[in-house]
Amino acid sequence: MSDPAGIDPSAMGEAAAANELMRLARQIAYHNRRYHAEDAPEISDAEYDALVRRNAELETAFPHLIRADSPSRAVGHEVSASPLRKVTHEVRMMSLDNAFTDEEVEEFVARVRRFLALPADAPVVMTAEDKIDGLSCSLRYEDGRLVRAATRGDGQVGEDVTANVAHIKDIPQELRSDSGVVPPAVFEIRGEVYMAKADFLALNAAQEEKGDKVFANPRNAAAGSLRQKDASVTAARPLRFLAHGWGAASAVPADTQWAMMQQIAAWGVPVSPLLTRCDDTAQMLAHYRSIQAQRADLPYDIDGVVYKVDSLEWQRRLGFVAKAPRWGMAHKFPAEQAETTVEAIDIQVGRTGKLTPVGRLRPVLVGGVTVTNVTLHNRDEIGRLGVRVGDRVVLQRAGDVIPQVVENLTREEDRPAYVFPDHCPECSSEAVAEEGEVDVRCTGGLVCPAQRTERLKHFVSRAALDIEGLGEKTIAEFFALGWLESPADIFRLRKRRDDIVGREGWKDKSVDNLLAAIEAKRQPDAARLLFGLGIRHVGAVTARDLLKRFVTLPALRAVAERAHGGDEEAKAELLGIDGVGPVVVEALGDFFHEPHNIAVWDDLLGEVSPPDFIVETRASAVAGKTVVFTGKLETMSRDEAKAQAEALGARAAGSVSPKTDLVVAGPGAGSKLKKAAELGIEVIDEAAWAEIFKAAG
C-alpha cells in the first residue's frame, strides 16, 4: 500500500477512517514533540500541514470519530520534560486556523458574518499583519513592570523564560508611562520571539566554527536559544520580539485590535511595521500579496499573513473553537516548493502503450494542494534525476501547473539505481524505445489489456464521445467480463441489460440511465468520434479541421488511403488544411493501412451514424483567422471560447506562432502574451472579444 492519504473520505468505511485517524493522531503527536519540544523537526512544514489537513478532512466526514486526543484540539506540545520551571497561563495561549487559498479567506469572512448574524454585505473590518516564524511568548506586566515571561507550551502550561528574556532589547523591563494611558495593573503582552535572518546566518557560522550544533532555520534557532536552562546562553544570542496580541488583562484600554496594538507600541513594545487595517476581503488579499512580494527582502522569516477581526466587542462574541480563535486566521503562503519522500515508483501503461513512471509520494502540501503522486515522465527523466524509492525530492508547483520533481536531495550513491522495466507490467510484452525516442512503449498492442482499456476510456471521455455514467471503473469492470472488446461493443451493451442488472452495485435505474446515455450518442458528432478513435497526432482540433474540409468520415478515409498509396493530389489536399502537417498525413495513412483498425472502424460505423459535419459560421471580423486564448477567462469557459471562435469561422489554436492572427488575453496571461508581443500580433481582452462575437449577431 503506497498512498492511504489519497482515498476520498466519502469512499471510505468507518473502520478504515478510524484507523487512519488513529495513525494520524500518533504521527502528528510525534512531529509536534520533535518540533515544539525538541526543536528538531524531521519533516518539512508542508508535509506536517498535509497530515493536519488530512486529519481535518476525515474529521469533517466522520465527526463522530473525532478522538479525545485529536490533534485538531491540541496546541503545541506539553512541556513536562522541559528542564525549565512550569508556568500555568491565566488565559490560554492559542493557535490559529490556516487558510491556503483566497476562497478559504472569503469563507472565513463569511463565517464571521454568519456567526454575528450580519447581513451578507455588512462591512467586517480586519487587521492584517505578517506572520512571523518564531515562537510565541507571553510577557506579564504588573503595574507596568515585567514580572514573568513564558512560552506557549501546550497552551495551558508553558515554560518560565523570565531570566532568558532579560537580555532581549525589544522586551522592556518596564512599560513606558508617558503614552497618556497608564499600563493596567495586569497586562500580558503576547508576541513572537524570533531571530533575524542575518543574525541566524552569523550565529550558524559561529556555531560551526566552534564545532557546535548548527540550526535548521531561524525559528529553530530562536526556540533553541530562548529555551535554555542557563540564561547566559540566551543572553549571547541575538533574539528579537514583535508583539501581536495580549492575554490576561485587568483592563483593555481600547475597543479595536488596531487601537490596542498602537497602545502596546506606545508602551514601548515593538509591533509589526506591516500591521494594517482592511475594510473588505479585496483589501485583505491585496495586503497579503503585497507582503508576499516583500517577503524575501524582510529582515526576518515569515510564513503568511494573520487576519483578525478589528472590533474587540465582536472578538468577544466570536470566542474560540477547539484551539483557535474564531476571529483570527493565518493565511499561509503556499510552499511552491516542498520536500517529500518517494515511497514507490509505479509504471502506468497508456493508450498508445507508453510506459509512464509515476512517483508515489508521502503526501505534502505544495502551492496549497496536497500532492500524493508525481509524474516522472520517462526513462531519461528518471535517469537525469537519479530517483530511487526512498529518496528525498523537491517538488515544485507554480500556479495551476502540475507538480514536478525539480531536484533529488538524496546523494548516497551506494543504493542501486531504479531499473526501468523492459517488459510491460500489464501484459509482459517486451517494452522498447524506438530509435531516437525517449518513450518506452509496450509492444503488446491488442493483447495488452492496459492499452485496450485506456483506448476505451479515451473513446468515452469528455472531449470524445462524452458518454455520461460510463466511467473508468465501469469500463474496467465490463472489460474484465469480456463485454467490451472494441468501441462498437459499447453500443451493444443494451443486449446485456439483464446481465448488468444482476451484478452487484447495479440497479435497474442506474443500468437504464447508462444505456440511455449510450443511445443518446448513436448519432455522434463526427469530429468527436474521429478524435475518440485515438489515431496518433489527431487531436480534438485536428479532427475538427479534417472534418470541416471532408464533411464525412468515409470521405476522409478515402483521401487518407489515397494519400497513403502515394497519390500526390490527395496528399496536397490534406496538407492544405491549416494545422495538418506530414506527420498527421502519415499517421492517418498508417491507421487505415492496418486491417484491425479497419475492422474496428467498420464495426463502429455499423452501430453509429454521425451526421454530416457542417459548422455553421457567421459573417465576422475574424473569419478565417487563427485565434489564441490565454490567461484566465472571466465570463466563459475555455471550451465556450473555442466554440465561439469556431462559430465565427475562426480557428482556435493552443500556441502562439507566426500563423496566429489574434490573441485574446485575460488576467495572468504569461509567456503566450510575451510571444505575441515579440511577433507583433494583435492582442485584445475578453471584453473586446465579446464585442466581436456580439457584432457578428
Ligand X SMILES: NC(=O)c1ccc[n+]([C@@H]2O[C@H](COP(=O)([O-])OP(=O)(O)OC[C@H]3O[C@@H](n4cnc5c(N)ncnc54)[C@H](O)[C@@H]3O)[C@@H](O)[C@H]2O)c1
47 known member of a binding site: yes
152 known member of a binding site: yes
Of Zn ion, ligand X, none, which one sits near residue 331, judging by CB under 5 to 8 A according to partner kind? none
Q: What DSSP letter does each residue of 330-351 carry, written as one string? A: EEEPP-SEEEEEEEEEEEEE-T
CB closer to Zn ion, 367 vs 444: 444
Of ligand X, Zn ion, none, which one sits near residue 448, judging by CB under 5 to 8 A according to partner kind? Zn ion
Of ligand X, Zn ion, none, which one sits near residue 620, judging by CB under 5 to 8 A according to partner kind? none
Side-by-side strand order, sheet with 626-630: 651-653, 626-630, 662-665, 682-684
Active-site residue flag, 131: yes
Of Zn ion, ligand X, none, which one sits near residue 32, judging by CB under 5 to 8 A according to partner kind? ligand X
| Per-residue x/- track, 13-52, ligand X (CB under 6 A) | ------------------xx-xx-----x-xxx--xx---
Of ligand X, Zn ion, none, which one sits near residue 444, judging by CB under 5 to 8 A according to partner kind? Zn ion
Q: How far is the CB of 287 from ligand X (least distance, A)?
A: 12
Establish how many alpha carbons lie within 13 A of residue 350's alpha carbon, considering only the half-sphere containing its beta carbon.
Answer: 15
Amino acid identity at 190:
R
- What distance in Å separates the CA atoms of residue 275 and residue 290, rounded to the nearest whole number? 12
Among 153, 247, 334, 444, binds Zn ion (CB under 5 A): 444
CB closer to ligand X, 188 vs 646: 188
Among 149, 448, 533, 628, binds Zn ion (CB under 5 A): 448
Pick the piece of the chain touching Zn ion (CB under 5 A) from 32-40, 98-106, 424-432, 672-680: 424-432
Of ligand X, Zn ion, none, which one sits near residue 261, judging by CB under 5 to 8 A according to partner kind? none
427 known member of a binding site: yes
C-alpha dist (Å) from residue 215 to 38, 42, 222, 224, 241: 12, 13, 9, 8, 19
Among 442, 493, 514, 665, binds Zn ion (CB under 5 A): 442
CB closer to ligand X, 223 vs 530: 223
- What distance in Å separates the CA atoms of residue 652 and residue 638, rounded to the nearest whole number? 10
448 known member of a binding site: yes
- What distance in Å separates the CA atoms of residue 319 and residue 325, rounded to the nearest whole number? 6
Pick the piece of the chain touching Zn ion (CB under 5 A) from 420-428, 472-480, 525-533, 687-695: 420-428
- What distance in Å separates the CA atoms of residue 169 and residue 199, rounded to the nearest whole number? 14
535 contacts: CB under 8 Å, gap ≥ 6: 587, 588, 591
- What distance in Å separates the CA atoms of residue 134 and residue 161, rounded to the nearest whole number? 15
CB closer to ligand X, 32 vs 228: 32
CB closer to Zn ion, 333 vs 479: 479
- What distance in Å separates the CA atoms of residue 641 and residue 631, rounded to the nearest whole number? 12
| Per-residue x/- track, 120-139, ligand X (CB under 6 A) | ---------x-xx---x---
- Residue linked to cell 497586562: 187
Q: Does residue number 440 form part of the binding site for Zn ion (CB under 5 A)?
A: no
674 contacts: CB under 8 Å, gap ≥ 6: none
| Per-residue x/- track, 224-263, ligand X (CB under 6 A) | --------------------xx------------------
Which residues, numbered 546-565, are part of the site for ligand X (CB under 6 A)? none
Of Zn ion, ligand X, none, which one sits near residue 132, judging by CB under 5 to 8 A according to partner kind? ligand X
CB closer to Zn ion, 281 vs 486: 486
Q: Does residue number 264 form part of the binding site for ligand X (CB under 6 A)?
A: no
CB closer to Zn ion, 132 vs 431: 431
Q: Are 431 and 352 in contact (CB under 8 A)?
A: no
Q: Does residue number 424 form part of the binding site for Zn ion (CB under 5 A)?
A: yes
CB closer to ligand X, 35 vs 601: 35
Q: Which one, of 320, 322, 321, lies nearest residue 68 by Cα?
A: 322
CB closer to Zn ion, 136 vs 378: 378
Q: Does residue number 70 form part of the binding site for ligand X (CB under 6 A)?
A: no
Which residues, numbered 497-516, are part of the site for Zn ion (CB under 5 A)? none
Q: How far is the CB of 292 from ligand X (least distance, A)?
A: 15
- Residue linked to cell 469557459: 637
Of ligand X, Zn ion, none, which one sits near residue 244, judging by CB under 5 to 8 A according to partner kind? ligand X
Which residues, numbered 320-339, are part of the site for ligand X (CB under 6 A)? 330
Q: Does residue number 426 form part of the binding site for Zn ion (CB under 5 A)?
A: yes
Q: Are 44 and 216 in contact (CB under 8 A)?
A: no
Q: Give the residue closest to ligand X by C-beta.
A: 136
C-alpha dist (Å) from residue 38 to 24, 95, 204, 235: 20, 19, 18, 20
Using DSSP, state whether 471 is helix, strand or coil: coil
List 86, 131, 521, 632, catalytic entry:
131
Beta bridge partners of 662: 627, 682
Among 5, 37, 87, 96, binds ligand X (CB under 6 A): 96
**Helices 540-550 and 553-564, packing angle to 10 deg:** 100
Whole-angstrom distance between the N-terminal and C-terminal Cα of the chain? 57
Amino acid identity at 541:
V
Q: Are 388 and 417 in contact (CB under 8 A)?
A: yes
- For the four alpha carbons of 191, 196, 200 and 203, in that order, the dihedral sign comes to negative
3-state SS, 523-583, equals CCCHHHHHHHCCCCCCCHHHHHHHHHHHCCHHHHHHHHHHHHCCCHHHHHHHHCCCCCCHH
110 known member of a binding site: no
- What distance in Å separates the CA atoms of residue 195 and residue 239, rounded to the nearest whole number? 5
Summarize the annotated binding site as residue ranges: 45-49, 95-96, 129, 152, 192, 308, 332, 424, 427, 448
**Binding site per annotation, positions for Zn(2+):** 424, 427, 448
Binding residues for ligand X, per CB under 6 A?
Answer: 31-32, 34-35, 41, 43-45, 48-49, 75-76, 95-96, 98, 129, 131-132, 136, 192, 244-245, 306, 330
Binding site for Zn ion (CB under 5 A): 424, 426-427, 429, 442, 444, 448
As annotated, the active-site residues are: 131
Binding residues for NAD(+): 45-49, 95-96, 129, 152, 192, 308, 332
